[in-house]
Amino acid sequence: MQNSNASTLLHSLSLFKKNNLLLNNPIDISEDFYKPENEFFLAGNVTRFDASKAEGTIQWNFNRWAYDWFFNKIDKHLQPQTEKSAPFQDYDVHPHCKFSVSFISQRTFRLRMQTTTAKQTEHPSLMLVDEPPADKTWKIKESKNEIIYSNNAGKIIIQKNPWQLQIFDNNDNLLTSTKTAETLSGMHSKMLPFLFMRRATDNSRSIAASFSLHTDEKIVGCGESFTALNKRGQKLNLFTADTQSTASQQMYKPIPFFFSNKGYGMFAHTSTPCTFDFGNTHAGSQTLFIGEDALDIFFFIGSPKEILNEYTNLTGKSPLMPLWSFGLWMSRFSYRSQKETLEVAENLRANKIPCDVIHIDAGWFKKGINCDYSFCKENFPSPKKMMGELSEKGFKTSLWQIPYFTPLNPIFDEVINEQLFTKDGNGNLPTQDAILDFSNEKTKAWYSKKLKALFDLGASCIKADFGEAAPLNGFYASQRSGFYEHNLYPLRYNKLVSEITKASTKENIIWARSAWAGSQRYPVHWGGDAEVSAIGMACSLKGGLSLGLSGFTFWSHDIGGFSAAPNEELFKRWTFFGLLSSHSRVHGFPPREPWFFSEDFQNTFRKIVELRYKLMPYIFTQAYIASQQGLPLMKALLLNYPDDETAWFIDDTYLLGEDVLVAPLMENTTARKVYLPAGKWIDYQTKKIYEGEKWHLIEAGELPGILLVKNNSLIPHIELAQSTAFMNWSKIEWVAFSNSTQAEGKLFSPQTNKLQTVTASLQNKKWTWNNKTATKNFNIKNYT
């Protein structure tokens, strides 16, 4: 990535003023591209190119907005300019700048473009796991006006006059191409061509990378977006924000990556604010408005699963999380004493509700929710003893904290005196709170010491809450402003908490709310402060599926919603959804514990939790498989059925792993319409069989939700235990969901750390094993 020579602080402040923004609300980068006072430079001819090195220079043609009139309508269009109003012609009217293409793998290539001739400062990328490799399989063919690079996966064509990039699959189908001035369709076109813009306010530059869209194209990704799964027709501002809702266009976890049903994807390698317009302004164009003054985009060719694998090869795959993390997490806002915490644990065991984690939220400090990393001695007289007792009963302990310190916080002065905070241009606080600067090595060491002390007491996980408010007008130890650091802050935060945790516990786990590209390396992330409503529940699922399509394997959400006490009916349905998610945490305003509700609710709650614990071998196995491939554990249907057009629109149903389909009840009803992809599907509760590639009205069984298993599946179960710590993995019961004579399943055991595939046949009404890997301890029965 590259830094601007202009004052990015001035730039950040001017963006806030021009967008009339309240503090830490998302920026719409696209607005500046339509302001007539700014200068615009459209991609012109290639003036030099070395095909063997895939690098050269391009002329950017100077344009300005000009007003036009047509009957009773005044509008504007981009108009070429022949000169600049500068003395002695000291500046190029049409600058010539470098660009290059590099090939990373058979399915991945990278485009980099400069918007200045000045040498730019290079910064190490936190988003990439390593320097991208070079792939030598691409063949070169050059003619007078074009260069073709091709291999078995597809090809790209670079047109020289004017410059244009075209991307094809291996069947010569055009996937997408850049929009040039020549492709403007008539004098009234609202399409914005591929260009960069120079602001009149501060001379800073940003890029609009415009590409074509097919008439039937669908787009997915861009992080934990709570809007419709298919982003076609939407405009998304990629700027980490405390959304305070899951029914908002804002995002805790924006990710500048997406892919298309046409067989390609893009990753904008930047940390600056971005606005991605997918046919919102112009139906035939997708424009990536990027705050950065240099373009750096990775392109991927392939199926959805192949694209996700390629993207996570670059930015990292989620490691497999510890087994206990897949159990139930019990929490509320908040347990406020050692006595209360231990009573919750006792009640869970007394009421036979399996659970693995007790989370203590913002209630363990002396002064309200002011995080000082110290237990209140009056309320928690012996935290180490408490966590030891919890551990003996099969519970891990999770603790809440944040990196913000109000002036009333007991350690506020320490943070200020030690100079650990993000500063303004004068070296002082840019906000009321002192916000830790995680690009500062001294801050990281101080923070590590604080968290290590908590692990030494017996904590197993740290909740890395917030992280979306890094000041845009701040200066950081990285020598960059908040324009570059705001979106990076969650990644620095996630990384540091994860590294401290692993150094103390040897396990890969945090519980985080904010994220940026690369944060999937530090799981798990949860969906933030969901509204306690059907909409809050439905939009949480949209966000989780969208995040899974953005490289994140694991995800969770607050069961019941966060912002108020849930009613029983909603809580019951959300429990079904939550316990059949990647990770399951009950959290929000009290009460949350099932014994505070009716006996009927508690019985239903218990049965749903028991179902998850019995399915733990399946869930853990699918978690392992997904983490190895860069895929989500909770899959949107389109991932496994990319050729099914309907699947690209389904955002209220998902696959849990490869073989199980979950359709939560989003409304207060006992039945709902469910779209099933190809094949036969068997209802886990009612045993009814449904044909795929069609819609069905399906009645829920005893539990308030719909759970179906793909035909010919062997699903491993385990004997019920009150904690994963007490499970006996030597005895696995397999259930054959098959109306034929064959079934197959997989098992990844935490005891052997090996993936095992087993197959079985039905002979004389009895299932028998087809392979020697099945042992005498593996029992099998039919789903009927």
Tokens of 125: 């990328």
Contacts 24+ apart (CB under 8 A), 68-72: 68/187, 70/188
Q: Which of 224, 356, 437, 468 is catalytic?
A: 468
The C-alpha atoms of residue 267 and residue 518 are separated, in whole angstroms, by 11
Tokens of 106: 């058979």
Tokens of 309: 């694998």
Q: Which of 310, 529, 558, 658 is catalytic?
A: 529
The C-alpha atoms of residue 520 and residue 1 are separated, in whole angstroms, by 20
Q: Is 529 tagged catalytic?
A: yes
Q: Which of 421, 418, 544, 490 is nearest to 241 (CA)?
A: 490
Please check whether residue 78 is in contact with residue 63, taking contact to mean a CB–CB distance below 8 angstroms: yes
* Encoded amino acid at 134, one letter: A
Helices (H) and strands (E) in the chain, counts: 13, 44
3-state secondary structure 493-561: HHHHHHHHHHHHHCCCCCEECCCCCCHHHCCCEECCCCCCCHHHHHHHHHHHHHHHCCCCCCEECEECC
The C-alpha atoms of residue 10 and residue 661 are separated, in whole angstroms, by 51
**Would you say how long the chain is, in residues?**
784
The C-alpha atoms of residue 675 and residue 648 are separated, in whole angstroms, by 11
Q: Which of 310, 361, 465, 652 is catalytic?
A: 465
Close Cβ partners of 780 (under 8 Å, ≥ 6 residues apart): 714, 733, 734, 735, 736, 760, 767, 769, 774
Please check whether residue 474 is in contact with residue 520, taking contact to mean a CB–CB distance below 8 angstroms: no
Quote the Cα angle for 419-424-426, to 5°: 85
> Buried b vs exposed e over 154-164: b needs ≥16 C-beta within 10 Å?
bbbbbbbebbb
- Tell whether omega for the bond before 524 is within 30 degrees of 0, i.e. cis: yes
Tokens of 751: 């005891």
Q: Is 468 tagged catalytic?
A: yes
Rounded (10°) CA dihedral 335, 340, 342, 345: -70
Query: Which is it for strands 357-360 and 328-330: parallel, antiparallel or unpaired?
Result: parallel
Please check whether residue 670 is in contact with residue 703, taking contact to mean a CB–CB distance below 8 angstroms: no
- DSSP class of residue 223 equals E
Distance of CA 690 to the CA centre of its chain: 32
Q: Is 68 tagged catalytic?
A: no
The C-alpha atoms of residue 661 and residue 511 are separated, in whole angstroms, by 26
Residues carrying an active site annotation:
465, 468, 529
